Structure 1
């Protein structure tokens, strides 16, 4: 397993390469392909939820650099569908959603999926519930594509309150398509929030998975709050060796080691 120092040095080298390219130094122009920059962003975000919080500043820098790169890209760049996917992933990864609108509005060659651009615009404007049916169809259509797990996560967020069972299905899809990533981390946390009121047994199973994989995520404090609620809401009646409380004890011991 890569040590923390080695991982940090790799991250520094990775982002330094992007910076040099952005500054116009002697780096091949193909190294600035948006889809390659998105891969760097994904690596950073996965490192953050794995516990490398030093990558946060690099993430902010790369999001800004990507935004500038996308807005100044030649239309020919988007003849490569990987770069079109990169724009959608960027928007759903903490990037500037207005950049997607900017590029989609200037797409005269039909490279961008206008349906997806429109429903994402509604989501970013806080109107996602008005596009539930459209999201359902697009999640199925994009399936295992690079955009698929991001879209499923958004669909789960939208439906979490209105249809918890469907939301869990979306989050399960994210976990299946993107194991070990920041997407899985988010899907586990949000699944726990949805399941907590009605299925404490499954909640403990999800909590155990989160502890094993993402205990050092900067978002783990949200998980801890839910875990405490999960453990204290159950009174531990019946056979305590099989009760949720005993499972809580085992998970807590895992937290301490």
Structure 2
């Protein structure tokens, strides 16, 4: 109770006074208290409290000034020395930390922790992994261990995804409800997808939507989730995707369906594109918002099917001023393909034009001969084959646009 009161007092002090007055008239808190107040605000940001984000930006600037002005002997206290590393690894000013670490001898902490932190400040991934790998000192704060796990997971993802994912799992277990957990859930989606672990993707998505749906970083979460679904392809069903989407609030669900639909079109998965665009269209209509994009994707997904005529009509009636430039290119390509399909002469199933030649001097007559063709011997119509190729070419037309 007393610890929480002190932190609230710190925040009220930061926000209630101009920075210059606060610096002159208020006692300077120790660095570990300053960093703790920063972390408390970050966790509130992750939980979706709207007032926390602007307050955090002000607090970060104030803390940077306080740390720069701190006496060198302050850093000999282990709690303060560890705090400055936590500050750095959680969005603190790298130049401020670099100046302190390079001008002050920190006898109370491991040199490898200092070297790894400097590597992080310098954007040196090899230095980060090299110095932060292996067993960490047993006496360091759990929050620093979680912070190190997060930054090293990002570096390990491309070379050792299973280990990277285990580090994110460690964060979820040891730092629940924090910004660290929120980040671990977001970053774990693509790692799990690249490993083909559908159940892990679903678990991470459910946890995020149930715990951090109001986070200001949720936009990045949905981008990661869409990419994860695209990587999993047929391993995850449309019903499973819809189950995940049902946990999101309506305003987030609609763009999620649309992103999946567009991504499916780009990779040529028309059944998935059709399913998602139908969901998006129904949802847009139910909340009385613009459904132009949903209709576009639905129309495109139906080109080349028995609904081609209706699809082309739908596409031709779309208001182009409501579409993004990249979607206009999709519209143009789909309309052209639909037009070519409709221009082809229809063929009566089971009947083949034949030319019969009668005796000399007699006329030749075109007749239709009914042919019983076993289904197993039916060949692909050249036009259908051409249509499929055109659909595959959409990606090239878009220049492999981002989903």
TM-score range, shorter chain: 0.7 to 0.9
Deviations 1:161-206 (A, max 9, x none): 1110110011111111111000000001101121123222210111
Q: 1:211 aligns with which of 209, 212, 232?
A: 209
Q: Which runs of 5+ in 2 are unaligned?
A: 1-6, 251-403
Deviation larger for 202-211 or 127-136:
127-136
- Contact 1:192-1:203 within 8 A present in 2 as well: yes
- 3-state SS in 2 of match to 1:147: helix
The alpha carbon displacement at 1:47 in A equals 0.9
Corresponding position: 1:115 with 2:112: yes
1:17-166 maps to which residues of 2 (within 5 A)? Answer: 17-19=13-15, 20=17, 22-25=22-25, 27=26, 29=27, 32-108=29-105, 110-137=107-134, 139=136, 141=138, 145-166=142-163
How many pairs were matched up? 239
Equivalent position to 1:246, from 211, 236, 239 = 239
Q: How does 1:174-189 map to 2 (within 5 A)?
A: 174-189=171-186
Q: CA deviation at 1:227?
A: 2.6
Call closer, same or farther: CA 1:92–1:71 in 2, change over 3 Å. Answer: same
Q: SS of the residue aligned with 1:180?
A: coil
Aligned position for 1:8: none
2:12 corresponds in structure 1 to 16
Gaps of 5+ in 1: 1-10, 238-242
Change (3 A) 1:128 1:228: closer
CA radius of gyration, larger in: 2
Shift of 1:44: 0.9
More divergent stretch after superposition (217-226 vs 127-136) = 127-136
**Per-residue deviation, 1:211:** 0.5
- Residue by residue over 1:203-244, the C-alpha shift from the partner in whole angstroms, topping out at 9 and shown as x without a partner, is 01110011111111111112112333445666668xxxxx64
Distance 1:138 1:225 in 2: 34
Does the CA contact (< 8 Å) of 1:139 and 1:152 recur in 2?
no
Partner Cα separation in structure 2 for residue 171 and residue 124 of structure 1: 21
* Distance across 2 between alignment mates of 1:73 and 1:115: 23
Deviations 1:17-39 (A, max 9, x none): 135473333x4x26x11111111
CA RMSD between the two structures: 2.6
CA distance in 2, matches of 1:48, 1:219: 9
Which contiguous aligned blocks of 4+ residues in structure 1 show a shift greater than 6 angstroms? none
Q: Which has the higher contact order (CA 8 A, sep 6+)?
A: 1
Is the CA contact (8 Å cut-off) linking 2:75 and 2:106 kept in structure 1? no
User: 2:226 aligned with 1:228, yes or no?
Assistant: yes
C-alpha contact (below 8 Å) 2:43/2:178 kept by paired residues: yes
Of 102-111 and 174-183, deviating more is 102-111
